[in-house]
Structure 1
């Protein structure tokens, strides 16, 4: 499908959040996906990923995940400086602020004439964690969580003291968990911990592990990017959302 792009500045409880919108150009109502980025915010690879998903018939929202901590429009570089700033932001923003961001986007989508009101979540790296977390929201029907960091380690700040792993039982949407077995950020024992926690919590989920590095979806930096695998995961994600969001 041919798509169009725009942005909106949404008012969240923690400040204004620029949110990029990718959606089919053809008039109609479409289900939506909230797409959470890496720590670098909306880089060119993230924009291309959002466009790919929108082209399959979805409204895709890409929020600036650390909007409270950066000027509007900030994009961090894939370099040491950008990585250091992004990681600092990750540990500065409490999980509850991400929850209120998600609710703000849900409220926005439910008011748009081009959206059916059926919403999913998708994300890579820290964004995979945020998609996992978003599935605790009763309005999120499914989440594609790609090499989600910091779930197993319970290291992200929480105002309530309840990290995402301990709140797995609160997940209401269906999950698709995708991992690279050569990802040092989520080692074997970390994946095992998450997997068993999902089983014990009774969450509906599917689980996929591939011979791939961290950030294998990112089409910038050929030392990690696996184009064939990325295409497969996009297809899996589209199938998940077509099944759970298209009524």
Structure 2
């Protein structure tokens, strides 16, 4: 499908300076069907805001029939422009990451879902995804019961609980508390050579999800951090692996938000295994 891009400046109640959140929206277009409605997906960016790789990733999702919202996560500190993939930009993005309140990250997610559900071309069925910082934010977006599935690429800081101001996020605390139990489906994708999330960290996240009976898939591949980023990935981009995992993402989204299955029953029989 063809896509169009626009943006909405949405007021933030938690920004002391009164600056809005700019949320970029990429929408599919079907000629001759001006009233078509599509599921929505929130795409959370890495520490560089909505860069070219993030926009292309979001555009690919939109072209498969989803209205995609990409919030500018550092609106408290700067405008919506992308942060460069250089040393100064990396230092700035990492600094902002731990200066922003966790509650402000959550507000951005809520405002993005609110925006999608208000758009005339969105049918109200919402998923989320993201990479690096955005993988963690997509994980936290799953606490919102309106989000029916989340696919999180190499999510940072979950295992160490170091997201946001004070570097003391409550993501795994909320998992233990049951805030994801009986919510939507969760998928976590990590590279085994990712130095940001070591094996012990991955094992901890998997254990917490399983202990809390969260509906989750855990995928580990032979890749480094940022392997899906098609620009300035420092030699880590794996296009073939990215394509395979993008297909997996589409399967999850098609199954969870691409179809309206009606109300979920609590009485679900276990499937029979036939050899």
Per the normalisation by structure 1, the TM-score is: 0.96
In 2, Cα distance between the equivalents of 1:165 and 1:118?
Answer: 25
Aligned to 1:40: 48
Q: How many residues align?
A: 245
Q: Deviations over 1:144-171 (max 9, x none)?
A: 0000000000112368x65111111312
Larger deviation: 230-239 or 28-37?
230-239
SS at match of 1:48: helix
1:136 to 111, 134, 143: 143
Per-residue deviation, residues 118-173 of structure 1 (Å, max 9, x unmatched): 001100000000000000011111000000000000112368x6511111131222
Describe the SS at the equivalent of 1:192. helix
The equivalent of 1:111 in structure 2 is 118
Aligned to 2:221: 210
Q: TM-score, normalised by structure 2?
A: 0.86
Deviation at 1:196, TM superposition (A): 0.1
Q: Which residue of 2 aligns with 1:57?
A: 65
Residue number in structure 1 paired with 2:20: 16
The answer to whether 1:244 aligns with 2:256 is yes
Alpha carbons 1:19, 1:61 under 8 Å: kept: yes
Q: Report how far residue 111 of structure 1 moved.
A: 1.5
Q: Distance in 1 between matches of 2:75 and 2:151?
A: 23
Consecutive unaligned residues in structure 1, runs of 5 or more: none
Matching residue of 2:3: 3
Larger Rg: 2
Q: Which runs of 4+ in 1 moved over 4 A?
A: none
Distance 1:25 1:5 in 2: 10
Match of 1:174 in 2: 185
Partners in 1 of 2:193 and 2:169 — Cα distance? 29
What RMSD, in angstroms, separates the aligned Cα atoms of the two structures? Answer: 1.3
CA distance in 2: counterparts of 1:64 and 1:85, whole angstroms:
15
Q: 1:102 pairs with 104, 109, 115, which one?
A: 109
Secondary structure of the residue aligned to 2:172 is: coil
**Residue equivalent to 1:25:** 29
Moved more, 18-27 or 115-124: 18-27
1:154 to 2:154 alignment: no
Change (3 A) 1:230 1:162: closer
Distance 1:173 1:86 in 2: 30
Q: 2:201: which partner in 1?
A: 190
- Aligned equivalent of 2:242: 230
